[in-house]
Amino acid sequence: MRTLRDPLWNTIAVEPFALRLVDTPQFQRLRNVRQLGLAHLVYPGATHTRFEHALGAYHLARRALALLDEGGFLDDALRTEAGVVRAAALLHDIGHYPFSHALEEIGALHHEEVARPLVTGGAIGALLTAELGADAPARVIALIRGESASPLQGLISGSLDLDKIEYLRRDAFMCGVAYGEIDADRLLNSMTVVTDPETGARRLGIVEKGLAALESLLFAKYQMYRNVYWHHAVRSATVMYKRLVADALHAGSLDAGSLAAFTDEALLAELARRHPSALLDGLRERRLYKRSFECPAAQLSGDECEWIAEDPALVARVEAALARELGLAPGELLLDYPVKTQMLGLDIPVLRRDGSVRRLTAQGWAGAIDLPKLSEELYRSARWLRVFTANRAAIAPEPLLGLLRRSGDEVRAMVESGNRLLTR
């Protein structure tokens, strides 16, 4: 075993096989892909990368598997599965684009799908096959994508997966904020393997006394979204970056299929060479767009404004039309409504104190725990609809909100008619 020094977990022990995976060019690329995208423009310490996060997830996988084994929850079959689980924890972000998730918001292939050929072929696929068996690459990608039938799937993708525990702790630590505090030790020690009462399948669960630690995960995720991930300046930089890359793709200056091969700085250098623009200069010099309008999701109902998060092509047309109406240059007005995320997607069996097993799902437990309702309320207070402009612009809020609250089909028809979008 080799040991690595880590600012969050102190010492990470790495087995020889994992080191061979780490030494592949595909994994080494993650040294230059920031974990939090453009958040370093707001939190200067947020320059940590997918590389150390992946090592942290691997470290937590080793700890969780050891605790489950000590507790007598792993039989011989699951002990054999442990090597695949550790590999999946290490490789779960291997397909990530430069600057985190932003490019997935403009329709780029999801990073877990990008990971498939990297895990099942090439140097990584060959290593997995040689060490863990011919079916190991397929088993690893199934765990990464949340499609495995393994009882240990929940360690890689689930309500309290190790990825979530790791990134919340690391992101808070590196940003220098106290919002990501999670009782990680309690969560790891509360994990168990139980028989699901509804399906009869064995799966990862949690003992009832660990529910308080699960609550700490919920609050940490909410606070990090509200104060870091969806911070208005972080979102301003993110929509500028999204528009910059989308424009380059549309112009043929970049190829969508090659995006995942870039590091952060390599992509910016390629954009500077092939598609220079004021947006790129603004990002590099931290001249971020200003908020000219904002509205919390709590003031919206149902699926209002979801087309902004789901239809990037329509958003680009609306941005162009609104910029013309407001006397702004093309690209000087950007809409932002972050892609909807669950604060805590609950579906986990709980081993109760009386020995019974009950699933905690999105419906919650009447009279016992109402984390799902709380999760929805927290989410609605963290997510904001915003209009960013190159310089702060005066936009009448009522006509604008009236437009944005229409359905995507209605907005598309208005754009195609050529009539003004903002009516008094």
At residue 201, the 3 state secondary structure works out as coil
- Average pLDDT in the 258-270 region? 95
Residue 284 banded pLDDT, cuts 50, 70, 90: very high
**Tell me, what's the pLDDT at 400?**
95
290-296, strands of its sheet edge to edge: 290-296, 384-389, 333-336
Residue 142 banded pLDDT, cuts 50, 70, 90: very high
pLDDT at residue 368 greater than cutoff 60: no
pLDDT at residue 303 greater than cutoff 90: no
Which tens digit of pLDDT belongs to each residue from 314-359?
A: 999 999 999 999 999 999 999 999 987 765 667 889 999 999 998 8
- Average pLDDT in the 105-122 region? 89
- Average pLDDT in the 54-62 region? 98
**Tell me, what's the pLDDT at 406?**
95
Which tens digit of pLDDT belongs to each residue from 384-419?
A: 999 999 999 889 999 999 999 999 999 999 999 998
pLDDT at residue 366 greater than cutoff 70: no
Nearest to 253 by CA among 237, 288, 277: 277
pLDDT at residue 93 greater than cutoff 70: yes
Q: Supply the pTM of this predicted model.
A: 0.94
**Tell me, what's the pLDDT at 372?**
62
pLDDT at residue 137 greater than cutoff 90: yes
Which tens digit of pLDDT belongs to each residue from 147-198?
A: 999 999 999 998 888 999 999 999 999 999 988 678 999 999 999 999 988 8
pLDDT at residue 283 greater than cutoff 80: yes
pLDDT at residue 72 greater than cutoff 80: yes
Which tens digit of pLDDT belongs to each residue from 3-45?
A: 999 999 999 999 999 999 999 999 999 999 999 999 999 999 9
**Tell me, what's the pLDDT at 275?**
96
Angstrom CA distances, 121 to 88, 92, 117, 138, stand at 15, 15, 5, 10
**Tell me, what's the pLDDT at 149?**
93
**Tell me, what's the pLDDT at 375?**
67
**Tell me, what's the pLDDT at 378?**
73
Structural domains in the chain, CATH included, are 2-230+346-381 (1.10.3210.10)
Nearest to 34 by CA among 45, 53, 48: 48
Residue 164 corresponds to which tokens in the numbers above? 């979530």
User: Percent of the chain at pLDDT above 70?
Assistant: 95
User: Percent of the chain at pLDDT above 90?
Assistant: 76
The C-alpha angle 383, 385, 386, rounded to 5 degrees, equals 125
pLDDT at residue 106 greater than cutoff 90: no
**Tell me, what's the pLDDT at 364?**
64
Per DSSP bridges, beta strands 290-296 and 384-389 are antiparallel
Between CA 194 and CA 371 the distance in angstroms is 21
The mean of the pLDDT values for the chain is 92
Angle at which helices 136-144 and 111-120 cross, to 10°: 170
- Average pLDDT in the 347-373 region? 76
Residue by residue, DSSP assigns 26-76 as: HHHGGGGSBTTTTGGGTSTT---BHHHHHHHHHHHHHHHHHHHHHTT---H
Nearest to 268 by CA among 31, 32, 24, 30: 32
**Cα pseudo-dihedral 310, 53, 77, 214, rounded to 10:** -70
